[in-house]
Structure 1
Amino acid sequence: MKRTSGERAVGSRVLEGQVAGPLWSDACGWQDLALFCGDANLAFGRAMLNLDRGWSARWRATWKVGKVKRAGPVAGLNAVPLTGCVPWRGFTWRRGQYHRPGLEPVLSTGRQHAFESHREDQFIVMADFMGEAEEILSQPFLLKFEGEGGWREHIPDFLLISGRGRWLVDVRPEGRMDEDDVMKFAASSEVALALGWGYAVVTGWRALTWRNVDLLYSRRRPMQDRLGMMPRLLQTARAAQALSQPLTFRALADTCEFPALARPVILHLLWHRQLGVDLAAPFGDGSVVRVAREAVR
């Protein structure tokens, strides 16, 4: 748990394995779009933890179901039905506050989910766009762990539950974390690892990806298709793809009698991942659109 005088927490890094190239919206996950706190940071924080034998039975988690608080060792969290939890802290709105809390409606869960900052709101939107979230728990539990200075506490920002497993997530912009934060993130990482969950500290998003997803977000809600444009647009895109002919956003819209009406329908199909576009490139009339991989068959 000791550090040398030359050791310092460093800034965030792109997750190892991310490479430059197209990020097709129909095939990527939020992990492909996010920037993460580097492994060196978490290793630095891990050195400040007491991970002696039996630590997962000593460390405690406390969660809230309604107004009732329940607690137990972190080793038993997989047996806890966390889907009924409410946020650990209350969310308040008042004039002059510096953070921006709110409620984000999520299509994949059919409910509103709380956030405390614009960055946290972005994460919820990104998770909703991927369509994998069966549940998004804001501030799922209070973690009590042993670190430098004795017992410490941390409240992770989100627990994302899907058919592919669970992800514990903290959201912190690059350059806005100190040594104490890094220790807390490392503690959350160790808990997630012990439980077989994923863990990430999201510091931002890859260039252009948030701007593009935010554009599609404007057309995410259910819409009536009285002119029957959706099946025709998908059929046109599928035919062009079968002939290996690149089809741009504008060209696809122009195949309809009313291109101006077709554009929001295409954006709707993009949000729902029936069509795909490269999220790493500026979106515009020249953006190449493809049929989602699952819809090609």
Structure 2
Amino acid sequence: MIVQSPARVRGKYEQPIASIRYDDASVRKVPFGDLRLADFTWSVPWRKFRSVHGQTHYSGRYASATMAGPVVYESRLELARLLLADMDPAVRGIYAQPCHLTARVGGRVRRHVPDFLLVMDSGVVRVVNVKPADRAADPKIAEALAWPGELVGRHGWEYEIWSGADRVLLENVRFLAAYRRPGLVPEADIERAWECVRDGDRLGVAERRLAAGRPDHEARPALLALVWSGRLTTDLSRPLSGDWVLRRSA
């Protein structure tokens, strides 16, 4: 699939365009080749959030710890990818529906709104589209997802089509997300837990040591807050239990 270059296309949309909506209701059109991360400062999702009685999709606003504010999603699958990004310490920025892409592909004008744009600590920018595996395998949908990937790849950014993850992993991340909000667990308790836990501790052992005579369950929130933040890691493909092995991050 070829996204045609300006030298090969005449007329409207001679080059791919990214349209970005801002919080003052303005829209800026940027040639995709000139697009920079700074262009998303003060941007808002391209589509307005909608929720009506009887709608078939599941949409909402998620209170992101990474963004210290709401991020929109339009399906449960999008919410799952959003949760994973929010928990990932390598992600420092999450933009939902970041822009509206327009390009001439094979002589035909195509349009697309990516689901997410992730900004990594490394400086890498990743454009993410979320589609169930059965739909992504449909030739028409696969084609619709392919040309944005070619465009993004030529720009030097990463491109991801995400169709889900292990069920236990997602259940653990959903559970841990309850500990993402600053202040829910006192910071002093979190730092006390960090000083107490040893690399390789099982969760139950760390709880007993940290509880110091109190009921063990009272120590668990601080430890789980450390897992959410990435300061402690464990095998999230295993169901939550006292046998979780905790590792201190570098």
- TM-score bracket for the superposition, by shorter chain length: 0.7 to 0.9
Instruction: Evaluate the alpha carbon distance shift between residue 80 and residue 205 of structure 1 in structure 2; reply closer, same or farther with a 3 A threshold.
Output: same
Q: How many residues align?
A: 239
Q: In 2, distance between residues paired with 1:254 and 1:80? A: 47
SS at match of 1:176: helix
Which residue, out of 266, 291, 294, partners 2:223? 266
Q: Compute the displacement of 1:191 (Å).
A: 1.7
Q: Does 1:285 find its partner at 2:245? A: no
Which residue, out of 25, 32, 36, partners 1:67? 25
The one-letter code of the counterpart of 1:273 is: G
Q: Does 1:251 find its partner at 2:205? A: yes
Instruction: Evaluate the alpha carbon distance shift between residue 67 and residue 273 of structure 1 in structure 2; reply closer, same or farther with a 3 A threshold.
Output: same
Q: Compute the displacement of 1:100 (Å).
A: 1.2
What's the C-alpha RMSD, in Å, of the aligned pairs?
2.3
Contact 1:83 1:135 in 2 (8 A): no
Contact 1:147 1:183 in 2 (8 A): no
Instruction: Evaluate the alpha carbon distance shift between residue 143 and residue 229 of structure 1 in structure 2; reply closer, same or farther with a 3 A threshold.
Output: closer
SS at match of 2:153: helix
Instruction: Evaluate the alpha carbon distance shift between residue 152 and residue 232 of structure 1 in structure 2; reply closer, same or farther with a 3 A threshold.
Output: closer
Which residue, out of 134, 158, 165, partners 2:116? 158
Instruction: Evaluate the alpha carbon distance shift between residue 281 and residue 191 of structure 1 in structure 2; reply closer, same or farther with a 3 A threshold.
Output: same
The one-letter code of the counterpart of 2:162 is: V
Whose relative contact order is higher, 1 or 2, with alpha carbons under 8 Å and at least 6 apart? 1
Q: In 1, distance between residues paired with 2:104 and 2:143? A: 10
Which residue, out of 181, 193, 205, partners 2:165? 205
Over residues 83-104 of structure 1, what are the superposed CA-to-partner deviations in whole Å (9 max), with x where a residue is unaligned?
2221111111111001111111
Contact 2:21 2:28 in 1 (8 A): yes
Over residues 17-53 of structure 1, what are the superposed CA-to-partner deviations in whole Å (9 max), with x where a residue is unaligned?
xxxxxxxxxxxxxxxxxxxxxxxxxxxxx3xx34467
Q: In 2, distance between residues paired with 1:206 and 1:53? A: 43
Q: In 1, distance between residues paired with 2:179 and 2:127? A: 28
Q: Does 1:169 find its partner at 2:157? A: no
Q: Compute the displacement of 1:283 (Å).
A: 2.0
Contact 2:59 2:75 in 1 (8 A): yes
Q: In the alignment, what sits opposite 1:112?
A: 70
Q: Compute the displacement of 1:115 (Å).
A: 0.9
For structure 1, list consecutive stretches of 5 or more residues without a partner in the other structure.
Answer: 1-45
List structure 1 runs of 4+ shifted beyond 6 angstroms.
none
Q: In 1, distance between residues paired with 2:117 and 2:111? A: 17
Q: In 1, distance between residues paired with 2:191 and 2:34? A: 48
TM-score by length of structure 2 reads 0.86
**Mapping of residues 1-297 of structure 1, within 5 Å:** 46=1, 49-51=2-4, 54=7, 58-65=15-22, 66-78=24-36, 81-147=39-105, 150-164=108-122, 165-177=124-136, 178-222=138-182, 223-225=184-186, 229-238=189-198, 241=199, 246-255=200-209, 256=211, 257-258=213-214, 259-292=216-249, 294=250
Q: Compute the displacement of 1:208 (Å).
A: 2.0
TM-score by length of structure 1 reads 0.73
SS at match of 2:47: coil
The one-letter code of the counterpart of 1:266 is: L
For structure 2, list consecutive stretches of 5 or more residues without a partner in the other structure.
Answer: none
